[in-house]
Amino acid sequence: MVAVTDIDLINNAYVDHEREQLARYDIEIDNNFRCIVTFGMYLIQMGQFDKSISYFRNLLFRTRLYEYERYFVLKGLARAYMKNGEHDTALEYAFIAYKINKLIVPDDTKEIEIELGKIYNHREEYNMALQHLEEALKQTDPNDFDTISAIHTNMALAHFSINNFCIGFELCQRTLQMLYDSSQSDPTTISDIYMIMARGHYLGNCLDAAIEYCQTSLSIRASIYPDNNPILIRSYYELGYYYDDNDQYELAIEYFSKAVELYQKYSNENDLLEMKAMIFSEIARCYIGLKQFQLSVFNFEKALEMHSRIIPLDEKVLAELHEKIAVCYWSRKEFKETSQHYEIALELKKKILSSNDDIISLYRRIGICYNEIKEDALGIQYYQKALNF
């Protein structure tokens, strides 16, 4: 655990950037408080979203804060919830921060406007995102390339998501040109723009271009970050995802495997289980594409083991994984193992009250498995259950 007094010793490009951002505010911010907030943002950057939420909530509810300090804590908490996929809660805290900002500095709300734009992007409310980002742009100094880059890239993401590809790519190209022409050419920002352009090409079904831009972003990031930085991990994962969608399964497995390897370098065994499980599931799907079903089972079982350690248990996900493992065994004509996993999936689905069609389908498939292994009496029992359900 890092003590508060040690926080100012953390050497990380993201931390330095957050400190610079805090230093830009007109309000004089206590140096100790600046370090405390920066550490919370550092936790977010490291992918420790639950820990960052706990950290900021402790600051908010158990610490006496000035109103301007509450603003920074609320903004950090909103970002942590956004990254954790809790978008409604993120929006709630962001709006509280917005109200404080309007009271303290009514003419300069651009930072929280950007945060609101990001949250609305995550909520897939792209027109709302664009409204906040455009307001932020109005308030931004034309020479503030850092803020303009953040606004343009998030606007581009919104435009890509509503199929305004020309506008999205124009924003990205304009921002890249602005950065390359200036003395403030930041490789971190440039790599982010290339990654967003990759996303635009992916949404436009140009997978080869998406892969090319993602590779460009990854090569820049690999040159500026240590190999255990979570940004690199996300880059490897995204590139693997694009290769998978392009049916280049061996390359997808290569990059997914790099992501897993790097996760193991910077997190302990019980950290980020959901993300690791998701990557193992992606690897398993790729092996299905290669018809290597034994390796697919191995990776699905790794994902299953990790999900079994997440509290509370997500029984829907567990049921889906057992079904996927069953399909792999079915492809290998190993019907006894197939029926075992279908039966576990069946019990889980009955427990979570899945649709009747799902339950009936599982009864029928289990019946087929018993027919295949010549246990016809059991097969008939399951067919009867399907008919009577």
Residue 227 — very low, low, confident or very high, per pLDDT cuts 50/70/90?
A: confident
**Beta carbons of 169 and 177 less than 8 angstroms apart:** no
Quote the pLDDT of residue 25: 52
pTM of the model: 0.84
Average pLDDT over residues 171-188: 87
User: What mean pLDDT comes out for the span 318-333?
Assistant: 98
**CA nearest neighbour of 235 among 224, 247, 250, 246:** 224
Domain 312-389 has CATH 1.10.760.10: no
Report the pLDDT value the prediction gives residue 264, as an integer from 0 to 100: 78
Provide the pLDDT for residue 1. Answer: 31
CA–CA dist 74, 76 (Å, integer): 5
Q: What does the pLDDT average to over 214-234?
A: 89
Mean pLDDT of 202-224: 96
SS3 229: coil
What values do phi and psi take at 229, rounded to 5?
-75, 135
Mean pLDDT of the chain: 90
Residue 231 banded pLDDT, cuts 50, 70, 90 = confident
Other Cβ atoms less than 10 A from the Cβ of 309: the count is 11
Cβ-proximal residues to 58 (8 Å cutoff; 6+ apart), any chain: none
What pLDDT score was predicted for residue 16? 54
Above 50 in pLDDT, residue 330?
yes
The reply to whether 312-389 shares the fold of 1-137 is: yes
CATH topology of domain 1-137: 1.25.40
Amino acid (1-letter code) at residue 32: N
The pLDDT of residue 351 is above 90: yes
pLDDT, mean of residues 345-366: 94
Asked if residue 36 lies in contact with residue 59, where contact means CB atoms within 8 angstroms, the answer is yes
pLDDT at residue 181 above 70? Answer: yes
Extended strands (E) in the chain = none
What 237-240 contacts at long range (C-beta under 8 Å, 24+ apart), as own/partner pairs, is: 237/279, 237/282, 238/195, 238/198, 238/214, 239/211, 239/214, 239/215, 240/279, 240/282
| Residue 271 burial (CB count, 10 A) | 16
Q: Are 245 and 207 in contact (CB under 8 A)?
A: yes
Q: How many CB atoms lie within 10 A of CB 361?
A: 17
Peptide bond into 312 cis (omega under 30): yes
pLDDT-derived band at 5, boundaries 50, 70, 90:
very low
Q: What pLDDT score was predicted for residue 304?
A: 97
- Token pair of 123 as six digits: 């909520």
**pLDDT-based confidence at 3, cuts 50/70/90?**
very low
Model confidence pLDDT, tens digit, residues 9-50: 334 444 555 555 555 555 555 778 888 998 999 888 877 888
> Can you tell me which residue has the tokens 């980002």?
133
Q: What is the pLDDT of residues 253-297, one digit of tens each?
A: 999 999 999 887 777 777 778 889 999 999 999 999 999 999 999
* Range scoring the smallest mean pLDDT among 37-41, 72-76, 325-329, 379-383: 37-41
Q: What is the pLDDT of residue 271?
A: 74
Three-class DSSP labels, 111-134: HHHHHHHHHHHHCCCHHHHHHHHH
Q: Where are the domains of the chain?
A: 1-137, 312-389
The sign one gets for the Cα dihedral 122, 123, 124, 126 is negative
38 vs 22: CA distance, rounded Å? 9
- Is the confidence at residue 196, as pLDDT, over 80? yes
